[in-house]
Chain A
């Protein structure tokens, strides 16, 4: 079974803080993704990575950056947290081709005060 692990289940931070969300997968997947999910808006793609040190912007990258230094780890960074970044953040990974499904971590519920 694919295991995608997110470092925190719940996180509370203050406006202006730099926030790191970590995600690790154990299946040697090439592709990793960060989404946020908000009521009524569904899942929205922030960034994804198809290889180490490679990244591409998703649909809503503003205010975020990512890091993929090792294949198994994909980090999402909120450069200066704002209250509108309060959300559920979901990491996913997928094997090489687009025909494969994504596997999600448990999610991090982030609150910015």
Chain B
């Protein structure tokens, strides 16, 4: 089983739609969680961290469910510019500062006019 699993998509949605992605992780000791965005042929860029109580940044809402070991990303009022691959990222070990993050393979979103 992969450490971090995501539906690869693509998710094809019209402009203005609300879309949600889920991501499951296998290590119950995971401490920190992030969503990254990656445009085609570009490097991943941090979209937002995911906090235990859930957090919102404009049209984006991230939530964490530790009991079920998944995190989610909700995008409201989708824009064409939201088209990208969204990577779920988990720190698999206790916070030692010595481990890299584990990346999911990404979910591709295509927002259509």
Contact = CB atoms under 8 A, between A and B. Distances in A.
Contacts of A96: 97
Interface string B29-46: 001101010000111111
Interface residues of B, number: 27
B36 to A, nearest CB: 8
Interface residues of A, number: 28
A2 to B, nearest CB: 10
A99 B32 contact: yes
A45 B105 contact: no
A107 B42 contact: yes
Interface of A: 30-31, 33, 35, 40-43, 45, 48, 50, 56, 58, 90, 92, 96-107, 109
Interface of B: 31-32, 34, 36, 41-46, 49, 87, 89, 91, 93-101, 103-106
